[in-house]
A = this chain, B = another copy of it.
Amino acid sequence: MSIALSDTSTTAAHRYVMTFVCEDRPGIVHAITGAIVAVDGNIAESRQFESGDSHRFYMRVEIVTAASLEEVRTALAEVIDRFGLEATIDRVGRPLRTLILTSTATHCVNDLLYQASTGNLAIEVPLVLGNHETPARFAEFHGVPFEHRPVTSAEEKAAFEDRVREAIVEHDVELVVLARYMQILSPELCADLAGRCINIHHSFLPGFKGANPYRQAYARGVKQIGATAHFVTTDLDEGPIIEQEVIRVDHTRSPRELMALGQDTEVRTLRQAVGLFAQSRVLLDGSRTIVFR
């Protein structure tokens, strides 16, 4: 009986995903894979890249093993320590705890919640926080708590951000998504959320930064409009880009129609960026991102 149980436990395959970042030097992969061998792990998929800019080493590995998450972490601890690796080790597919901030537009928040509900997007959303009430019913439909906190003064803005910080702690939040949240975060909050906060900008950056990008795109007469998902930094619309999409438009489209057409591009770009992040496929390399698709 106990043998049978033990066998079952041994053969039960777990799938883990790991990322490693450090100053590049020879032997890192050999050391990491040595630790993987030590837990009888089989590498199912791996990507590695040395940045020509920063001479830093970036790696993402998925392994299959009978070992527990704790055993894998223990096996890798010495290597992580020796090479000074920034490392993450997690179960493949574990939903990322994600806080969503919104304003009046509902298309992005609606899609994120819908995709999460179907299992196509590996996030779980403990809270949607909005400075307008419009998205409330979408959150409710998906069984997600919604809080409305207006931001019409400096005091209210500070209170909103306090609530963000509080919610992050309360729900152990791993990612903050600005799903068309139309307020600029304070420099302090930007700094605190560095590399953990994704915004969707409704233009193909660096074109049309700031307000009313569809009106700007119309005025300039561009033939494709786009959307850009990027990490939030203190420089508005200048954070590291994670994903960009475009669609073809023509002279017949009014600014209002560009806005309607662009919504779908925003939805897909943000969903894609959040999904890649949730799968540990997005790593920061200074002002650029490494995206292991």
A246 touches B246 (CB 8 A): yes
Residues from chain B with Cβ under 8 Å of A221 in the complex: 240-241, 287-289
Q: Is A101 an interface residue (CB 8 A)?
A: no
Distance, CA A289 to CA B43, complexed state (A): 19
Distance, CA A207 to CA B24, complexed state (A): 33
Q: How many chain A residues have a CB neighbour from B under 8 Å?
A: 68
Q: What is the distance, in angstroms, from A213's C-beta to the closest C-beta of chain B?
A: 11
Q: Is A290 an interface residue (CB 8 A)?
A: yes
Distance, CA A244 to CA B290, complexed state (A): 25
Contact pick for A24, options B37, B42, B141, CB 8 Å: B42
Q: What is the distance, in angstroms, from A290's C-beta to the closest C-beta of chain B?
A: 5
Contact pick for A264, options B37, B107, B268, CB 8 Å: B268
Q: Is A34 an interface residue (CB 8 A)?
A: yes
- A window 111-150: CB within 8 A of B: 114, 118, 120, 137, 141
For the complex formed by this chain, how many copies does it contain in all? 4
Q: What is the distance, in angstroms, from A12's C-beta to the closest C-beta of chain B?
A: 16
- A window 274-290: CB within 8 A of B: 285, 287-290
A42 touches B26 (CB 8 A): yes
Q: Is A263 an interface residue (CB 8 A)?
A: yes
Distance, CA A33 to CA B33, complexed state (A): 8
Residues from chain B with Cβ under 8 Å of A42 in the complex: 24-26, 50
What string of 1s and 0s marks CB contacts (under 8 Å) between A25-50 and chain B? 11111100110110011111111111
Residues from chain B with Cβ under 8 Å of A52 in the complex: 254
Q: Is A220 an interface residue (CB 8 A)?
A: yes
- A window 180-207: CB within 8 A of B: 204-207
Residues from chain B with Cβ under 8 Å of A24 in the complex: 42
Q: Is A260 an interface residue (CB 8 A)?
A: yes
Contact pick for A251, options B49, B114, B137, B224, CB 8 Å: B49
B205 touches A205 (CB 8 A): no
Of the listed residues A44, A106, A219, A251, the one surrounded by the most CB atoms of chain B closer than 10 A to its CB is: A251
A251 touches B43 (CB 8 A): no
A43 touches B36 (CB 8 A): no
B26 touches A30 (CB 8 A): no
A48 touches B50 (CB 8 A): no
Residues from chain B with Cβ under 8 Å of A243 in the complex: 223
Q: Is A250 an interface residue (CB 8 A)?
A: yes
Q: Is A77 an interface residue (CB 8 A)?
A: no
**What 9 new A-B contacts, CB under 8 Å, besides A26-B40, A222-B244?**
A26-B42, A29-B36, A29-B46, A30-B37, A43-B48, A47-B47, A49-B252, A221-B289, A248-B248
12 contacts between A and B (CB under 8 A): A28-B43, A29-B46, A43-B48, A45-B252, A47-B48, A206-B208, A221-B289, A222-B241, A246-B246, A248-B248, A264-B268, A264-B271
